């Protein structure tokens, strides 16, 4: 007991030190912003913050807007959003040195002078990548991740790191070290996760471009919940060296996402990481104006869409048809099987033992309590619970069954099965001669704490992680009083505890944004962005 008490006290001391560093970061940001305001009282900060990224970037490159004006305008705004939402974990103090160096750069990259926020799990030299784990504190990265190196070579200035949920296996944003991040549009709502700090900061206007990761919707949930755009590229389109988990992607408006991808898909990326295919940004595809043939569906028959989700797809479909595009119904089948047998079983194919090991020595299990408990349970208990719960809670039974330990043969068979499913999905896509797909996106933002209870509600996003298709989200509407009224009749497809809880989580969201998901085939990020731009414009 004494040893345990001493260990816990040492852990709390590490947490307290990290929280002090977080506080000190905010103090430094305030001092830097205050110093700049005093020295430059005539700078119109609001007009700088209102510029879209392509225009801001152009003004920075042609010298009509000084670099330090932009940098400190965003430092000040980021500080305000951090105080409101608790989204920033660390101010990268070396960004001020980089700002001075940027002024001397001979070659101006596409992101010259642009302040960029970075998710906690992406390595920045000299800073922790905690993933919300206490054990990862005081273990600074030896070098920048490849993505951060490319951003710097393109002239961007990474200036803050942002909060994540513990382990990243959650679409909320809370950990024991830095606490809960709130949605900038409604403080009682989650900003989504796991790139929740990025969602809150970009959604609140404290960053013009955010870099995050996506393992099951971790970019798309925060973007949809906070009313911004994001894209998850194909798994290997961008480098994952120095990234702790997931596929690297970006948050901003669509034109900004395109500019960022142009910068990242450069010779710098291909030379720093030889495993990334040398596919530069395809300008012709992105700027094309030919009418698209678009598949669409309103539900996946696993997670019943909220009235606002269904309306978002219908209204977007109608606008696209009026603009001259062809919309074709797409029939999704067997999403339940995909969720449990490919996604859950794929992530926990060793029975969850490696997942459970991540939590060894931690004082809290965050929003992953159910998975952690199941990962620790012996095989006989999982089998018994699965059998007993099947008639009453079939989805819970399926989760337990999916978390059994697999043999090497079974894992290989699972890989082949997922590949076959991907080929079948593409064959259905090609048979309908589709260019892209319009899909629902879970929304509006759930109340804080609800994602931990609703791990099953990730079906709309996780499908495209299993398939490894590029997928983006675009906010298209706001929740209305009529949507709220219709929600009273929400039952769900299974009418179980999860469906009842999801109905509660949706309530009280009038005025909150709702997005749609835009999907393309693998390696077609430019087409995905082109479709997103069309939806955003309409």
169-195: per-residue pLDDT in tens? 999 999 999 999 999 999 999 999 999
SS3 content of the chain, % helix, strand, coil (to 5): 50, 15, 35
Q: Which of 379, 405, 431 is the last residue of a domain?
A: 405
Cβ neighbours around 5 below 10 Å, total = 9
Considering 77, 119, 161, 174, which one is annotated as catalytic?
119
447: which DSSP letter? B
**How far apart are the C-alpha atoms of 382 and 62, rounded to whole Å?**
63
Q: Residue 174 has which token pair? A: 């809370």
| Annotated binding-site residue numbers | 168, 194, 215-218
Question: Measuring CA to CA, which residue among 406, 445, 450, 430 is closest to residue 522?
Answer: 430
Task: Supply the pLDDT for residue 107.
Answer: 87
Answer yes or no: are the C-beta atoms of 475 and 467 closer than 8 Å.
Answer: no
Residues 515 and 398 in one domain: no
Answer yes or no: are the C-beta atoms of 400 and 370 closer than 8 Å.
Answer: no
Whether the pLDDT of residue 512 is over 70: the answer is yes
Task: Supply the pLDDT for residue 371.
Answer: 82
Does the annotation mark 306 as catalytic? no
Q: Which of 405, 421, 445 is the last residue of a domain?
A: 405
**How far apart are the C-alpha atoms of 483 and 477, rounded to whole Å?**
11
Residues 365 and 458 in one domain: no
Whether the pLDDT of residue 248 is over 90: the answer is no
Please count the structural domains in the chain: 3
Whether the pLDDT of residue 139 is over 80: the answer is yes
**How far apart are the C-alpha atoms of 168 and 250, rounded to whole Å?**
17
Tens of pLDDT along 144-154? 999 999 999 99
* First and final C-alpha spacing in the chain: 63
In a domain, 341, yes or no: no
Return the percentage of the chain with pLDDT > 90, whole number: 92
Q: Is 87 in a helix, a strand, or coil?
A: coil
Task: Supply the pLDDT for residue 364.
Answer: 78
Q: Looking at residue 79, which CATH number applies to its domain? A: 3.90.1300.10
By DSSP bridging, strand 88-91 and strand 229-232 are: unpaired
Whether the pLDDT of residue 47 is over 70: the answer is yes
Task: Supply the pLDDT for residue 444.
Answer: 98
Mean of pLDDT values over 252-261: 93
Answer yes or no: are the C-beta atoms of 425 and 467 closer than 8 Å.
Answer: yes
Whether the pLDDT of residue 366 is over 70: the answer is no
Residues 300 and 380 in one domain: no
Residues 37 and 127 in one domain: yes
In a domain, 57, yes or no: yes
Considering 25, 170, 207, 218, which one is annotated as catalytic?
218
Q: Is the peptide bond before 444 cis (omega within 30 degrees of 0)?
A: yes
Across the chain, mean pLDDT equals: 95
Residues 130 and 46 in one domain: yes
Contacts of 488 (CB under 8 A, 6+ apart): none
Residues 298 and 389 in one domain: no
By DSSP bridging, strand 157-162 and strand 115-119 are: parallel
Task: Supply the pLDDT for residue 27.
Answer: 98
Mean of pLDDT values over 265-272: 96
Answer yes or no: are the C-beta atoms of 159 and 91 closer than 8 Å.
Answer: yes
Mean of pLDDT values over 125-140: 97
pLDDT bin (cut points 50, 70, 90) of residue 370 is confident
Beta bridge partners of 232: 471
Answer yes or no: are the C-beta atoms of 531 and 289 closer than 8 Å.
Answer: no
Does the annotation mark 194 as catalytic? yes
Q: Residue 217 has which token pair? A: 């919707």
- Supply the pTM of this predicted model: 0.96
Q: Residue 289 has which token pair? A: 């104006």
Q: Is 513 in a helix, a strand, or coil?
A: strand
Task: Supply the pLDDT for residue 363.
Answer: 84
Answer yes or no: are the C-beta atoms of 265 and 280 closer than 8 Å.
Answer: yes
Tens of pLDDT along 82-118? 999 999 999 999 999 999 999 888 889 999 999 999 9
Mean of pLDDT values over 368-376: 80
Residues 137 and 27 in one domain: yes
pLDDT bin (cut points 50, 70, 90) of residue 367 is low
Kindly report each contact of residues 455-459 with a partner whose C-beta sits within 8 Å and lies 24 or more positions away, as own/partner.
455/370, 455/371, 456/302, 456/303, 456/339, 456/395, 456/399, 456/498, 457/303, 457/498, 457/502, 458/171, 458/216, 458/217, 458/343, 459/300, 459/302, 459/303, 459/335, 459/339
Q: Is 499 in a helix, a strand, or coil?
A: helix
Element (H or E) spanning 514, and its range? Answer: strand 513-519
| Annotated binding-site residue numbers for substrate | 168, 194, 215-218
Whether the pLDDT of residue 249 is over 70: the answer is no
Range of the structural domain that residue 208 is part of: 1-232+240-281
In a domain, 345, yes or no: no
In a domain, 11, yes or no: yes
Task: Supply the pLDDT for residue 476.
Answer: 98
**How far apart are the C-alpha atoms of 188 and 445, rounded to whole Å?**
10
Mean of pLDDT values over 135-142: 97
Q: Is 75 in a helix, a strand, or coil?
A: helix
Residues 323 and 193 in one domain: no
Does the annotation mark 397 as catalytic? no
Residues 396 and 416 in one domain: no
Q: How far is CA 538 from CA 317, 414, 474, 533, in A?
A: 10, 41, 11, 9
In a domain, 344, yes or no: no
Q: Is 189 in a helix, a strand, or coil?
A: strand
Tens of pLDDT along 433-487? 999 999 999 999 999 999 999 999 999 999 999 999 999 999 999 999 999 999 9
Answer yes or no: are the C-beta atoms of 330 and 301 closer than 8 Å.
Answer: no
In a domain, 21, yes or no: yes
In a domain, 476, yes or no: yes
Mean of pLDDT values over 243-272: 88
Question: Measuring CA to CA, which residue among 258, 254, 335 is closest to residue 300?
Answer: 335
Q: How far is CA 313 from CA 221, 230, 392, 504, in A?
A: 17, 17, 33, 22
Residues 45 and 166 in one domain: yes
Residues 302 and 448 in one domain: yes
Phi, psi of 206 (to 5 degrees): -85, -5
Considering 167, 194, 368, 459, which one is annotated as catalytic?
194
Residues 483 and 361 in one domain: no
Tokens 């988990």 sit at which residue? 245
In a domain, 447, yes or no: yes
**How far apart are the C-alpha atoms of 205 and 223, rounded to whole Å?**
13
Q: Residue 426 has which token pair? A: 């593409």
Task: Supply the pLDDT for residue 129.
Answer: 97
């Amino acid at each position: 007991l004494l040893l345990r008490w001493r260990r816990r006290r040492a852990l709390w001391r590490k947490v307290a030190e990290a929280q002090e560093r977080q506080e000190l970061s905010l103090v430094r940001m305030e001092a830097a912003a205050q110093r700049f305001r005093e020295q430059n009282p005539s700078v119109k900060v609001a007009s700088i913050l209102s510029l879209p990224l392509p225009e801001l970037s152009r003004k920075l490159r042609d010298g009509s807007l000084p670099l330090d004006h932009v940098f400190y305008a965003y430092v000040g705004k980021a500080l305000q959003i951090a105080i409101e939402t608790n989204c920033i974990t660390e101010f990268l103090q070396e960004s001020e040195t980089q700002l001075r160096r940027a002024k001397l750069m001979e070659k101006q990259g596409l992101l010259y002078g642009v302040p960029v926020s970075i998710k906690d799990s992406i390595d920045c030299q000299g800073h922790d990548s905690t993933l919300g784990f206490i054990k990862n504190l005081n273990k600074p990265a030896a070098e920048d991740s490849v993505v951060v190196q490319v951003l710097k070579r393109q002239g961007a200035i990474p200036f803050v790191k942002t909060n994540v949920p513990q382990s990243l296996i959650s679409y909320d944003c809370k950990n024991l070290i830095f606490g809960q991040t709130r949605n900038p549009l409604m403080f009682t709502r989650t900003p989504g996760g796991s790139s929740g700090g990025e969602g809150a900061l970009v959604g609140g206007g404290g960053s013009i471009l955010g870099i995050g990761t996506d393992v099951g919707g971790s970019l798309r949930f925060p973007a949809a919940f906070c009313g911004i755009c994001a894209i998850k590229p194909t798994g290997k389109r961008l480098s994952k060296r120095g990234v702790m988990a997931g596929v690297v992607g970006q948050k901003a408006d669509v034109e900004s996402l395109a500019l960022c991808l142009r910068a990242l898909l450069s010779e710098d990326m291909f030379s720093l990481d030889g495993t990334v295919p040398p596919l530069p940004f395809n300008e012709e595809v992105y700027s094309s104006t030919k009418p698209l043939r678009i598949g669409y569906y309103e539900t996946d028959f696993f997670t019943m869409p909220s009235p606002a989700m269904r309306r978002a797809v219908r209204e977007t479909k109608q606008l696209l048809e009026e603009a001259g595009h062809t919309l074709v119904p797409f029939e999704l089948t067997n999403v339940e099987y995909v969720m449990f047998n490919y996604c859950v079983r794929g992530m926990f194919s060793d029975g969850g033992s490696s997942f459970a090991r991540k939590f060894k020595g931690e004082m809290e299990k965050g929003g992953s309590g159910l998975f952690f408990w199941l990962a620790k349970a012996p095989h006989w208990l999982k089998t018994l619970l699965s059998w007993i719960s099947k008639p009453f809670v079939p989805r819970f039974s399926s989760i337990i069954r999916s978390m059994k330990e697999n043999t090497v043969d079974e894992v290989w068979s699972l890989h082949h099965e997922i590949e076959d499913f991907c080929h079948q999905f593409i064959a259905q896509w090609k048979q309908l001669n589709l260019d892209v797909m319009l899909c629902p996106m879970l929304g509006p933002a759930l109340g804080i704490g609800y994602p931990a209870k609703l791990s099953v509600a990730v079906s709309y996003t996780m499908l495209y992680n299993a398939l490894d298709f590029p997928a983006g989200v675009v906010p298209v509407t706001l929740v209305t009083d009529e949507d709220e009224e219709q929600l009273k009749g929400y039952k769900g497809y299974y009418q179980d505890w999860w469906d009842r809880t999801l109905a509660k989580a949706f309530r009280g969201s009038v005025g909150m944004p709702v997005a749609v998901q835009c999907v393309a085939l693998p390696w077609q990020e430019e087409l995905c962005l082109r479709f997103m731009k069309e939806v955003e414009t309409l």
